Structure 1
Amino acid sequence: MKLSSIKPSPFKSVILPLTAITAGSFWISLKLFDIAFKRVDYVPETSKEKQQYADQYYEYVDWFHKMPSEEWYLNRDDPDKKMVATYIPAEGIAKKTVIIAHGYKGNRETMANYAQMFHNMGYNVLTPDDRGHGDSAGKYISFGWLDRLDYLKWIDQVIDHVGEDSKILLFGVSMGGATVEMLSGERLPTQVKAIIADCGYSSIKEELTYLLKKQYHLPEYPVEPMVSEINKRAAGFGLDSASSMKQLEKNTRPILFIHGGKDTYVPSYMAYENYQATHAPKQIWIVPNATHAESFWYDPVAYKRRVQEFLRTYF
């Protein structure tokens, strides 16, 4: 057959644009992965809604740094795996300890207000820097999924330090809320008595898909699967596996869900999804006028009262 007799493929004009589209989608996915998953060594500016609380925030931070404290470590001698935390002992001998998980691109310092609240309630306080945050190692942010494994080790350290008769509360906000939710499905020591999750997402996949549409006006497909595959190669897990809801289905600890009713970053319907997935004793508190991670700041007195009510019942 002569080459001149071969008719041009009717799909040629389609294949080239499709190839360009695929390449474009991959480029966008790679950029989004860099933005969302790569560590940054600074705390980004907070939302406009929470900037009004800046003076109060820095008063809490000053308190945090002035308090007598200890630095705790995981993998201290391995710079590629070293995790760092601040431990603030209660005044006097206390057997109850709260482990506080921080939010996305935050660090242990950014949880100073919650640390003070629990310290004033008589708790020892442990506030870690998660992977890819603060003084801890890590090239990538795992949105709580790999962090949950580190928190199992932090729990063991608390028990070793405080004693076998420890009573441990897990507490987290935003990504930290999802972290303790994801942690809830693991085999926890009996010393872990309760969990409080403030504005945690139902899964990394659902949160990413929501933000793709809201912030970037992009569809779930093909971007989310591409980002998931990139993360699988970089950090070792696909986004499908990282679900608060699936972990909460296995949870046996009492849990309080807190969420701002005007949260547009992690929408409040995710709190209800997490609540419905939970079979353990559970409570939910939606703060009607609070935006993302604003529930404490909106009314600190009401926040502390609601937390104490839950702890009186279940801790």
Structure 2
Amino acid sequence: MKRAFRVLFSFLLVLASLGVFISNKLMFMKKKDDDEIFNREKDAGHLVPDEYDALPKREVSLPSSFGYPLKAVLVEPHETNRYIIIAHGVTQSKTNSVKYMNLFLNRGFNAVIYDHRRHGESGGKTTSYGYYEKFDLKSVVDWLRQEKGPELLLGIHGESMGAATLLLYAGMIEDGADFYVADCPFSDFSEQLAYRIKEEVKVLPPKLLLPVADLFVRIRDKYSLSAVSPIAVIENIKNPILFIHSRKDDFILPSMTEALFEQKKGPKKLFMAENGLHAQSYSENREHYEKVLDEFLEEYVYDEDDGTGTASPPSDA
């Protein structure tokens, strides 16, 4: 009896240690250094410091519904009601969003770039891969509409976790933008996590680790991994989505975006980039990326002219 108790106690101790370890990895994923992101984007030509510094902009701190500040930059070089919000990926910061911001600035949009919770300068203790982040995105949308009025032509662009976040926001909270660009999202976080466990851990099967991870995330961060599933809510999104993924992405498989595209009803477009790994579709296919974006905007966004005169691209775009 004592031996059986010791065995059970040892098993539970190992299970608890494993649960704490995995949930720590998820909730507190190591972020990239801000200087590393800045230098990488500068060296790639995505961020030219003098040009960025010269843009008319202001830094803002807006409240999350969970009580921490969200740090954002409002960039407004144009007299227009067209705005784009950019949501970065996990481990990144709003500096990573500058390249996408520039894409839209060149097309006559103003922009908001912001740091997700626990990233960059924003508050928040944990990363939740879109679960809490979708509410923060709503806070950014609400703030922008309060600042600029309701008559906005509004888009949201997201990369990786940022793309999953915008899909969860639009599918679970409100279809609150006129269009979306989802660049390399995962379709289901449990499925994504199972794939990463299989690729990186190898010695322990996902079927063993996923229930443990889910249990400890539920206890410690108050949500279930199964609640982070863009594909479960994609049918709720009526407004147009441009889906983008690199065929060579081996971190989040391109089949996830293909599945999301198939499940989405109504206006949509798919761009499978030939070159680049994860989150490199723009960097490695710049001309094609811009061409597809222009086609998407022409087909689904600029045609939605509401009489304000802002739905046609500017002459210098």
TM above 0.5 = yes
CA-based RMSD: 2.7
2:60 is matched with: 72
Contact 1:60 1:112 in 2 (8 A): no
SS at match of 1:247: helix
- Shift in CA distance, 79/186, structure 1 to aligned 2, threshold 3 Å: closer
Q: Provide structure 1 residue ranges, at least 5 long, that are not aligned to the other structure.
A: 1-7
- State the alpha-carbon separation in 2 of the partners of residues 189 and 266 from structure 1: 25
Q: Is the 8 A contact 1:181 1:244 kept in 2?
A: yes
Q: Which residue is equivalent to 1:36?
A: 26
Q: Deviations over 1:152-186 (max 9, x none)?
A: 12112222222222110011001111111111214
Equivalent residue for 1:213, pick from 190, 194, 198: 198
The partner residue of 1:311 within 297, 300, 308 is 297
Query: 8 Å contact 1:25–1:223 — kept in the other structure?
Result: no
Partner of 2:235: 249
Contact 1:246/1:277 (CA < 8 Å) preserved in 2?
no
Number of residue pairs the alignment of both structures matches: 299
SS at match of 1:168: strand
Distance in 1 of aligned mates of 2:31 and 2:53? 19
Residue 193 of structure 1 aligns with an amino acid whose one-letter code is D
Any conservation in 2 of the 1:261–1:289 contact (CA below 8 Å)? yes
CA distance in 2, matches of 1:259, 1:303: 10
Instruction: Give how far 1:18 is off.
Output: 6.2
Whether the 8 Å CA contact 1:40–1:132 is kept in 2: the answer is no
Find the partner of 1:108 among 94, 106, 115: 94
Deviations 1:242-294 (A, max 9, x none): 11111212111111110010111001111112112211311111112321001
Aligned in 2, Cα 1:86/1:271: closer, same or farther, shift over 3 Å? same
Structure 1 residue 117: deviation in Å?
1.2
Give the match for residue 4 of structure 1: none
1:94 equivalent in structure 2: 80
SS class of match (1:170):
strand
Aligned residue in 1 for 2:69: 82
Q: Which moved more, 1:57-66 or 1:148-157?
A: 57-66
| Per-residue deviation, 1:107 | 0.9
Query: Residue by residue, what CA displacement relative to the aligned partner does 1:103-147 show, whole Å, maximum 9, x if unpaired?
Result: 011111111111111111111110111111111111100111211
CA distance in 1, matches of 2:35, 2:197: 21
| Structure 2 residue aligned with 1:286 | 272
Cα distance in structure 1, aligned partners of 2:36 and 2:293: 24
Q: Shift in Å at residue 216 of structure 1? A: 1.3
SS in 1 for 2:252: coil
Q: Which residue of 1 aligns with 2:17?
A: 27
SS at match of 1:221: helix
Q: Which protein has the larger Cα radius of gyration, Structure 1 or Structure 2? A: 1
Could you say if the C-alpha distance between residues 303 and 153 of structure 1 is closer, same or farther in structure 2, counting changes exceeding 3 Å? same
Q: How far, CA to CA, are the matches of 2:270 and 2:70 in structure 1?
A: 32
Partner of residue 182 from structure 2, selected from 188, 197, 201:
197
- d(CA) in 1 for partners of 2:136 and 2:178? 18
* 1:56 lines up with 2:41 in the alignment: no
Look up the match of 1:5: none
Shift of 1:96: 0.7
Q: Residue type matched to 1:87 in 2?
A: L
| Alpha-carbon distance in 1 for matches of 2:215, 2:51 | 42
| Alpha-carbon offset, residue 22 of structure 1 | 4.6
SS in 2 for 1:292: coil
Distance in 2 between residues matched to 1:36 and 1:64, nearest whole Å: 33
Question: What is the alpha-carbon distance in structure 1 between the residues aligned to residue 50 and residue 7 of structure 2?
Answer: 57
Unaligned runs of 5+ in 2: 302-317
Q: Aligned residue for 2:306?
A: none
1:238 to 221, 224, 230: 224
Q: Quick one: which of 145, 152, 174 aligns to 1:159?
A: 145
Q: Find the aligned partners of 2:148 and 2:194 in 1 and give their Cα distance.
A: 42
